Amino acid sequence: MRSIWLIFAQTVTVLVAAVFVVATFRPQWLQQWSPRQILPEPTVAVAPAPSGSAPSGGLVSFREAARQASPAVVSIVTSSTAASNPHMRDPWFRYFFGDRQAQPQSGVGSGVIVSPEGYILTNNHVIDRMDDIEVILTDGRKASAKVIGTDPDTDLAVLKVELPRVPAIVFGNSDLVEVGDAVLAIGNPFGVGQTVTSGIVSALGRNQLGINTFENFIQTDAAINPGNSGGALVDAQGNLIGINTAIYSRSGGNMGIGFAIPVSTARQVMDSLIREGAVTRGWIGVEPRDLTREMAETFNLPMSEGVLITGVLHNGPAATGGIRPGDVVVQVGDQPVANTAQLLNAVASLKPGDSARVRIQRGGDEREVTVVVGTRPRQAVQLPREDVEEE
């Protein structure tokens, strides 16, 4: 038994020595006999390309959307002549205040060509109080624009240029837009030239920002800066879904919170301005205020949502219909009303001269009154709050 163990040990020693010699002087002999190690190939996750975008090297590209929409987005250069101060003729005024001359104003914004006839959508604050409006297309053509109409309540305006073969953008459906959808913002920020930025829809139905009378903004994190006003917010197919209007900013530049007017609103305003030169909205003559839980407890109301009427115009539509201060409006027609923005939009959508059913809460009683809708007076656009800037 001992002799067998010695033979085994010597054999193993000789084999180990042989392997060592071969591994040292002829390693390739061992490689051809070694088993091949098969490793799984790494998996690369590629985000699916949205419809209308072109994948490039495994990355999502919005080149087709930008190529389709960009030609219809124009730069708008405005200027106003200096208005002379009527007091400058008074020598005492010049004595105390000096010989001051008003300085001419100028500005740069954006616009979107919405029809082959040369109609352009932009913001009212881009062209407000401006005498000369020049439109510059991406192909280098320039033309003076005529103001077809303005609507300060939504901060929209329609211009028209007389040029042949102008490119028109395709309208999308802003009612189908959802949070998380990819969008592009196209405009002329800071006057550097047409720029395309990308992002997503961050929120929908933003209101009570103090920018416009009627607010229903699309919020996006696509970079929007001063000069983008009136430019296009488009979807991944290059279809227009909004008109870029304002930014939330502490510094004056982009902070990732921009607001665009939905194209559904812009198109209604545009059609009215082109057809009638003005936008006609319903009006009932009340002073509304959001109902809070504290107010509901104070007035012993059985609800915590609605619009408290704090004032009623004497002999106005609401007063004639029986609405009184202290009433809470909870429904206009078939539309429930939970806040002031919803009340304004519901009433504005009514046709002047029509009768509308308004459901109110008066103390512990719920009742329904009929109001003959009036025509909303034309108002100047509201000034933005300090932390919300119109670009």
108-126 burial code (b ≥16 CB/10 A, e <16): bbbbbbbeeebbbbbbbbb
Residue range 260-271, pLDDT digits in tens:
999 988 998 999
Task: Catalytic residue, from 75, 125, 174, 327: name it.
Answer: 125
Residue range 129-143, pLDDT digits in tens:
888 899 999 999 999
Band (38; pLDDT cuts 50, 70, 90):
very low
Q: Give the closest residue to 309 by CA, choosing from 282, 285, 332, 333.
A: 285
Look up the CATH architecture of domain 282-375. Roll (2.30)
pLDDT exceeds 80 at position 378: no
| AA identity, residue 301 | L
Cα→Cα distances 94→88, 98, 101, 185, Å? 6, 5, 11, 48
Band (387; pLDDT cuts 50, 70, 90):
very low
* Alpha-carbon span 182 to 262, nearest angstrom: 15
Q: Do domains 69-160 and 174-279+382-390 have the same CATH topology?
A: yes
Q: Give the 3-state secondary structure of residue 48.
A: coil
Q: Which CATH class is domain 174-279+382-390?
A: mainly beta
Task: Catalytic residue, from 153, 155, 221, 327: name it.
Answer: 155
In the residue annotation, 229 being an active-site residue is answered as yes
What residue spans define the domains of the chain?
Answer: 69-160, 174-279+382-390, 282-375
On whether the pTM is more than 0.75, the answer is: no
What is the per-residue pLDDT for 94?
A: 55
Residue range 273-320, pLDDT digits in tens:
998 888 888 889 999 988 888 887 777 777 778 888 889 998 899 988
Band (248; pLDDT cuts 50, 70, 90):
confident
Candidates 2.40.10.10, 3.40.50.2300, 2.60.120.10, 1.10.443.10; CATH matching 69-160: 2.40.10.10
Q: Give the H or E element holding residue 360.
A: strand 355-362
Please give the average per-residue pLDDT across 207-236, as a whole number: 86
Q: pLDDT: is 213 or 22 the higher one?
A: 213
Task: Catalytic residue, from 229, 235, 249, 327: name it.
Answer: 229
Lowest mean pLDDT among 72-81, 102-111, 312-321, 350-359: 102-111
What is the per-residue pLDDT for 5?
A: 67
